[in-house]
Amino acid sequence: AATEQDADRRAYAVWVSEIMLQQTQVATVIDYYNRWMQVTAPHRVLLAAPLTQPPLCQVVSELAGRVPRTAETLQKLLPGVGRYTAGAIASISYGQATGVVDGNVIRVLCRLRCIGADSSSPAVIDRLWDMANALVDRSRPGDFNQALMELGATVCVPKAPLCGECPVKQHCRARRRLLGQPAPVPEVEDCGVGCPLCPPAEEPWDSSLGVTNFPRKAAKKQPRAERTATCVLERRGCRGALEYLIVQRPSSGLLAGLWEFPSLPLAQDLQEEKQRELLADHLQAWTGRPVATGGLRLIGEVIHIFSHIHQTYVVYSLPLDGDVTLDPALSPSRWVTVEEFHASAVSTAMKKVL
């Protein structure tokens, strides 16, 4: 920033580094970054390369190569540029006195101020942004933001922070608390007004954890158990290869828009006979003809763990003779060979089912 006079080029350099650093760490990315920046002039490359970063292309096509100049306009005009990236570009490239909050900053600020509520909750995140905006150095905001993130990455690290070497240890309430020193103002958890930044009453300060009491995340919920009947309908295709019917899931919700074998959520503890009946009715819609429950062959069960669902697929198969006319009024559906199945947008769970 100190040596590059062109503000758009500065913004471009910071932006590219932020995009690359979302994928990996500085040590891994720096060589790629330097080579990329050597061979690309921002405006030329944006015009020539089929970049997968639409906001970068938008700068060229709609903003005449001029990157917006404030965190607010960066976020507003460039879809995909979030609050953090906007703050980083604006503070580092343009010297706007605006804060940034990333995972490292969350950790440092929660420890500095003993914020013990769930650090991913909107109330805490909003408060951290307020704090970052209030703290940022007015004359060197870019350096300040990078220093704060670096402090989190190198000193105030998640497991064993180096408090003795920390340049802000005098200001750190978590450290004061660890050392049994009173804070100059009441701790939020002692103030007795039930503020949204306090640790939950059922999870008080654990002295064995020291400063790593902060930040805190909400306890993970147990995944809920679900059962789904799924049926692999198969036929002999016109070229002799086996083909399978796949249908597309709705465009929102779990696994939105992915393809799967026709499936049906089941109530827990449903008897097998009832399962077959329900599945046969469901399949009739896809095949356009009655399906005999006896024709359904139970293959077995496949368990797949999503982050919040423990899913059991009860897998059936049903060979079909002759052609099946797919009803265009239903969700999109198609017959695929094994190769086509694997090349389709199918979930890992469905690959296991196959």
Nearer to ligand SF4, 66 or 171 (CB): 171
Among 175, 216, 249, 276, binds ligand SF4 (CB under 6 A): 175
Min separation Cβ 88 and ligand SF4, Å: 21
273 as an active site residue: the answer is no
Q: x/- site string to ligand SF4, residues 248 to 287, per CB under 6 A?
A: ----------------------------------------
Given 4, 18, 189, 273, the catalytic residue:
18
* By CB under 6 A, residue 166 contacts ligand SF4: yes
Choose the stretch contacting ligand SF4; rule: CB under 6 A; options: 17-25, 78-86, 158-166, 318-326: 158-166
* By CB under 6 A, residue 161 contacts ligand SF4: yes
* By CB under 6 A, residue 211 contacts ligand SF4: yes
* By CB under 6 A, residue 113 contacts ligand SF4: no
Say how many residues touch ligand SF4, by CB under 6 A: 14
Nearer to ligand SF4, 172 or 233 (CB): 172
Choose the stretch contacting ligand SF4; rule: CB under 6 A; options: 11-19, 132-140, 165-173, 238-246: 165-173
Nearer to ligand SF4, 105 or 211 (CB): 211
Min separation Cβ 85 and ligand SF4, Å: 24
* By CB under 6 A, residue 156 contacts ligand SF4: yes
* By CB under 6 A, residue 177 contacts ligand SF4: no
Among 92, 115, 148, 174, binds ligand SF4 (CB under 6 A): 174
Using H for helix, E for strand and C for coil, what is the string for the chain? CCCCCCHHHHHHHHHHHHHHHCCCCHHHHHHHHHHHHHHCCHHHHHHHCCCCCHHHHHHHHCCCCCCCCCHHHHHHHCCCCCHHHHHHHHHHHHCCCCCCCCHHHHHHHHHHCCCCCECCCHHHHHHHHHHHHHHCCCCCHHHHHHHHHHHHHHCCCCCCCCHHHCCCHHHCHHHHHHCCCCCCCCCHHHCCCCCCCCCCCCCCCCCCCHHHHCCECCCCCCCEEEEEEEEEEEEECCCCCEEEEEEECCCCCCCCCCEECCEEEECCCCCHHHHHHHHHHHHHHHHCCCCCHHHCEEEEEEEEECCCEEEEEEEEEEECCCCCCCCCCCCCEEEECHHHHHHCCECHHHHHHC
Q: List phi, psi (to 5°) of 125.
A: -60, -45
Q: Which residues are catalytic?
A: 18
| Residues of the shown chain interacting with ligand SF4 in the complex, contacts defined by CB under 6 A | 108, 111-112, 155-156, 161, 163, 166, 168-169, 172, 174-175, 211
